[in-house]
Amino acid sequence: MSKLEKFYYDNVIVKNFAYATAFWGVIGMTVGLLAALQLVYPIFNLGLAETSYGRIRPLHTNAVIFAFVGNGIFMGVYHSMQRLLKTRLYSDALSKFHFWGWQSIIVAAAITLPLGYTSSHEYAELEWPIDIAIAVVWIAFGVNMFGTILKRRENHLYVAIWFYIATWVTVTVLHVFNNLVIPVHLMKSIPVFAGVQDALVQWWYGHNAVAFFLTTPYLGLMYYYLPKAANRPVYSYRLSIIHFWALIFIYIWAGPHHLLYTSLPDWAQSLGVAFSVMLIAPSWGGMLNGLLTLRGAWDRVRTDPILKFMVVAITAYGMATFEGPMMSIKSVNAISHYTDWTVGHVHVGTLGWNGMLTFSVLYWLLPRIFNTKLYSVKLANTHFWIATLGTLFYVVPLYVAGWTQSLMWKEFTRDGFLQYRNFLETVTQIIPMYGVRALGGAIYLGGVFLMCYNLIKTVKSGNLIENEMAEAPARAVYVPHKGEHWHRWIERRPVLLLMSATIVVLIGGLVEIFPMILIDENVPKIASVKPYTPLELEGRDLYIREGCVGCHSQMIRPFRSETERYGDYSKSGEFIYDRPFLWGSKRTGPDLHRQGGKNPDSWHYYHMIDPQSISTGSIMPPYPWLARNDLDTTYTAAKIKVLQSLGTPYPKNYEKVLYQDLRKQAMEIAKGLEKENIKQENLDKKEIIAIIAYLQRLGTDATPKPQAITPSE
Amino acid sequence: MYKYILQSAGNINWMALFALLSFFAVFMISVIAIFGKRKSFIDRMASLPLEDSYVPHPENEETNEK
pLDDT for A254 equals: 86
Q: To which H or E segment does residue A188 belong?
A: strand A188-191
Whether A82 maps to a domain, the answer reads no
Which residues of chain B lie closer than 8 angstroms to A252, CB-CB?
Answer: none
**pLDDT tens sequence across A522-576:** 678 888 999 999 999 999 999 999 999 999 999 999 999 999 999 999 999 999 9
Q: Is B45 a residue whose pLDDT tops 50? A: yes
**pLDDT tens sequence across A290-332:** 999 999 889 999 999 999 999 999 999 999 999 999 999 999 9
Do A472 and B22 make contact, defined as CB atoms within 8 angstroms?
Answer: no
How far apart CA A540 and CA A36 sit, in angstroms, is 26
- Would you give the distance in Å from CA A390 to the centre of its chain? 22
Q: Is A6 a residue whose pLDDT tops 70? A: yes
SS3 content of chain A, % helix, strand, coil (to 5): 65, 5, 30
pLDDT for B56 equals: 59
Which residues of chain A lie closer than 8 angstroms to B13, CB-CB?
Answer: 267
Q: Is B7 a residue whose pLDDT tops 80? A: no
How far apart CA A262 and CA B48 sit, in angstroms, is 47
Whether A84 maps to a domain, the answer reads no
Rounded mean pLDDT of chain A? 93
User: Domain check: are A185 and A233 in the same one?
Assistant: yes
Which CATH number characterizes residue A566's domain?
1.10.760.10
* Beta bridge mates, A5: A472
Instruction: Show the 3-state SS of A420-472.
Output: CCCHHHHHHCCHHHHHHHHHHHHHHHHHHHHHHHHHHHHHHHCCCCCEEEEEE
Do A233 and B47 make contact, defined as CB atoms within 8 angstroms?
Answer: yes
Closest-CA residue of A relative to B64 is: A476
Do B45 and A86 make contact, defined as CB atoms within 8 angstroms?
Answer: no
pLDDT for A214 equals: 95
User: Domain check: are A623 and A687 in the same one?
Assistant: yes
Query: φ and ψ at A38, to 5 degrees?
Result: -60, -30
Which range marks the domain in which residue A597 is found?
534-697
Percent of chain A topping pLDDT 90: 82
DSSP letters of A123-177? T--S-HHHHHHHHHHHHHHHHHHHHHHHT-SSSSPPHHHHHHHHHHHHHHHHHHH
Question: Residues 6 or more apart from B17 whose CB is under 8 A from it?
Answer: none
Cα–Cα nearest to A433, from A394, A406, A407: A394
Which CATH number characterizes residue A488's domain?
1.20.210.10
CB A535 within 8 A of CB A689: yes
Give Rg (Cα) of chain B: 22
DSSP letters of A27-46? HHHHHHHHHHHHTT-GGGGT
pLDDT for B66 equals: 31
Reported confidence tier of residue A491, pLDDT bands at 50, 70, 90: low
pLDDT for B3 equals: 63
pLDDT for A252 equals: 85
DSSP letters of A207-250? HHHIIIIIIHHHHHHHHHHHHHHHTS--S-HHHHHHHHHHHHHH
How far apart CA A353 and CA A361 sit, in angstroms, is 12
Number of independent structural domains in chain A: 2
Do A470 and B52 make contact, defined as CB atoms within 8 angstroms?
Answer: yes
| Average pLDDT of span A157-176 | 93
Cα–Cα nearest to A680, from A614, A609, A585, A600: A609
pLDDT for A523 equals: 76
Q: How many CB atoms lie within 10 A of CB A571?
A: 16
3-class SS at A691?
helix
Q: Each residue of A189-216: b (16+ CB within 10 Å) or e?
A: bbbbbbbbbbbbbbbbbbbbbbbbbbbb
User: Domain check: are A451 and A338 in the same one?
Assistant: yes
Window 266-325 of A, Cβ < 8 Å to B: 267, 270-271, 274-275, 278
pLDDT for B60 equals: 47
User: Domain check: are A309 and A244 in the same one?
Assistant: yes
Total count of residues recorded for chain A: 713
User: Domain check: are A171 and A289 in the same one?
Assistant: yes
User: Domain check: are A543 and A606 in the same one?
Assistant: yes
User: Domain check: are A360 and A441 in the same one?
Assistant: yes
Across the A/B interface, how many CB contacts are shorter than 8 Å? 119
**pLDDT tens sequence across A232-279:** 999 999 999 999 999 999 988 888 888 899 888 787 888 889 899 999
Amino acid letter, residue A106:
I
Q: Does B35 touch chain A (CB under 8 A)?
A: yes
Q: Are strands A467-473 and A188-191 parallel, antiparallel or unpaired?
A: unpaired
Q: How many C-alpha atoms does A74 have within 13 Å on its Cβ side?
A: 33
**pLDDT tens sequence across A214-238:** 999 999 999 999 999 999 999 999 9
Cα–Cα nearest to A106, from A44, A24, A161: A24
pLDDT for A520 equals: 65
Instruction: Show the 3-state SS of A263-313.
Output: CCCHHHHHHHHHHHHHCHHHHHHHHHHHHHCCCCCHHHHCCCHHHHHHHHH
Lowest-pLDDT range of A8-12, A189-193, A313-317, A653-657: A653-657
User: Domain check: are A453 and A595 in the same one?
Assistant: no
User: Domain check: are A650 and A501 in the same one?
Assistant: no
**pLDDT tens sequence across A434-482:** 999 999 999 999 999 999 999 999 999 999 999 999 999 988 666 666 6
User: Domain check: are A264 and A403 in the same one?
Assistant: yes
What interface predicted TM-score (ipTM) does this complex get? 0.78
Whether A44 maps to a domain, the answer reads no
Q: Is A518 a residue whose pLDDT tops 80? A: no
Query: φ and ψ at A406, to 5 degrees?
Result: -60, -45
Do B49 and A84 make contact, defined as CB atoms within 8 angstroms?
Answer: yes
**pLDDT tens sequence across A46-99:** 999 999 999 999 999 999 999 999 999 999 999 999 999 999 999 999 999 999
Do B54 and A471 make contact, defined as CB atoms within 8 angstroms?
Answer: yes
Q: How many C-alpha atoms does A607 have within 13 Å on its Cβ side?
A: 17
Which residues of chain B lie closer than 8 angstroms to A154, CB-CB?
Answer: 48
pLDDT for A9 equals: 96
Q: To which H or E segment does residue A15 belong?
A: helix A12-38
User: Domain check: are A507 and A542 in the same one?
Assistant: no
User: Domain check: are A418 and A471 in the same one?
Assistant: yes
Could you state, in order of their start, the residue ranges of all structural domains in chain B? 1-26, 36-66
Cα–Cα nearest to A286, from A184, A341, A216: A216
**pLDDT tens sequence across A644-702:** 999 999 999 998 899 999 999 999 999 999 999 999 999 999 999 999 999 999 999 88
Window 215-234 of A, Cβ < 8 Å to B: 223-225, 227-228, 231-234
Q: Does A157 touch chain B (CB under 8 A)?
A: no
How far apart CA A256 and CA B16 sit, in angstroms, is 14
Angle between helix axes A237-251 and A494-518 (nearest 10 degrees) is 30
Reported confidence tier of residue B36, pLDDT bands at 50, 70, 90: confident
| Average pLDDT of span A488-507 | 74
Whether A604 maps to a domain, the answer reads yes
Whether A632 maps to a domain, the answer reads yes
Do B48 and A515 make contact, defined as CB atoms within 8 angstroms?
Answer: no
Total count of residues recorded for chain B: 66
